Amino acid sequence: MVEAHATPATPFFPLTGLHKYIAIFLVVLSWILVHKWSRLRKQKGPRSWPVVGATMEQLRNYHRMHDWLVEYLSKHRTVTVDMPFTSYTYIADPVNVEHVLKTNFTNYPKGDVYRSYMDVLLGDGIFNADGELWRKQRKTASFEFASKNLRDFSAIVGFGVEIGTLSPDLPENSFAQAFDAANIIVTLRFIDPLWRLKRFFHVGSEALLEQSIKLVDEFTYSVIRRRKAEIVEARASGKQEKLGEAGEESGGLGDDKSLRDVVLNFVIAGRDTTATTLSWFTYMAMTHPDVGEKLRRELCAFEAERAREEGVALVPVAGAGDDDDVAFAARVAQFASLLSYDSLGKLVYLHACVTETLRLYPAVPQDPKGILEDDVLPDGTKVRAGGMVTYVPYSMGRMEYNWGPDAASFRPERWINDDGAFRNASPFKFTAFQAGPRICLGKDSAYLQMKMALAILCRFYRFQLLEGHPVQYRMMTILSMAHGLKVRVSRAV
């Protein structure tokens, strides 16, 4: 008789209570991680990690972020960078740029995220505004930048305040320093996930920002109050005030906060962008002596031709090192009188040199836009509502797929046709002045002012970079030189 032996049953412990929920959580987490890892392997851009995204790599490369982006965008025309609370999509392909700045313009406003970063500095100014508020300010500003005004006035008058930054002894200026500090800190907010926490506790960079804005506001509001008093006095005496006329065009002078925002937006638009471009131009001319010499020959020929047209005899100057300072100053003043809105148009090589400088060193190196609704860019990249898309003029100017194999070279000749005329490029390829509905209203004004200043400087002076002086940018909304530009200056007559 065979004795049967029962096989012991395998113990079974059902998942109940807390164990069940832990198991479900682990399964879901594993699926999310696998899905995210699969997506990230296909993602074009820096490596992204759970929670922190690409924050660490961005922080490590923050001091050279524009060149960091060049490295990625030279391989991939579109790059996605994940951050803890949002994601940035950087674009350098003109087709994508046109889609964002023109074709689907309404889907890419400045947006709430951008405004939250910049509001403390720009407020409701034109660079920070959307919708009807932006349209109203743009219409008002367009009167000031109309062609007729540019022909009638060789410079755009601001608020009549001289802060002395061009004095020979280079004095310290608290407003300029505070404004730059605020600009630097609000730019840092774009990659600093802790800035709101620092603002809440009034520590670190946010504490410095608060102090800087206080100084900026004190100066700005004092100017506004003084100018308002002057306008009231001028009206009472029957005198015309250009600022008053502009105010009436927009429905009155406005409250102090609105004027404060307008002033600070125009400080960035008029003071900072022009100043930084003049610095990079001078650096390019010094480091490319063949360009500097060709430019000087054009200016000398222009001077002789304009003198003949005007029937004036040029003041004789012995040459570089001449002790006759009075004669030299008279010759410079005489040359300046030959410059006008129309005559500057004859300086094609100068115009090409300024444009080439802006191609490689755009005053605004990055320009972020918000995303209202999910969209697909022309190259197939999907972008999600709530994120940001940033076109990158600094990178675009260095892309071989935009400008050819010599894209990184400073070559003004690329802007001149065989017949000697200036050759324009698509504003979606050369994006230094933006494009589409928000294209820069001050483009002609900026060219006019820079060409007038550079024509005089390059005609009568030579510049040599001070030995050992570092030339590099600092991270802020404009491409400012971190240490300024220190040069030796000598006469060139």
* Residues flagged as binding site for heme: 440
Q: Which residues are annotated as a binding site?
A: 440
Whole-angstrom Cα Rg for the chain: 28
Return phi, psi of residue 294, to 5°. Answer: -65, -40
Say if CB 128 and CB 389 are below 8 A apart.
Answer: no
Task: Using DSSP, state whether 271 is helix, strand or coil.
Answer: helix
Contacts of 131 (CB under 8 A, 6+ apart): 109
Burial class from Cβ neighbours inside 10 Å (0-12, 13-18, 19+) for residue 24 reads exposed
- Residue ranges of alpha helices (H) inside 338-442 are 348-360, 393-396, 400-403
| Residue 375, strand partner residues | 383
Strand order in the sheet with 87-91: 78-82, 87-91, 388-391, 367-370
Say if CB 67 and CB 369 are below 8 A apart.
Answer: no
In the numeric block, which tokens belong to residue 36? 């995210």
Q: Which residues of 65-104 are buried (b: 16+ CB within 10 A; e: fewer)?
A: bbebbbebbbebbbbbbbbeebbbbbbbbbebbbbbbbeb
- Residue ranges of alpha helices (H) inside 174-288 are 174-188, 195-201, 204-236, 242-249, 256-266, 273-287
Task: Using DSSP, state whether 270 is helix, strand or coil.
Answer: helix
Say if CB 220 and CB 261 are below 8 A apart.
Answer: no
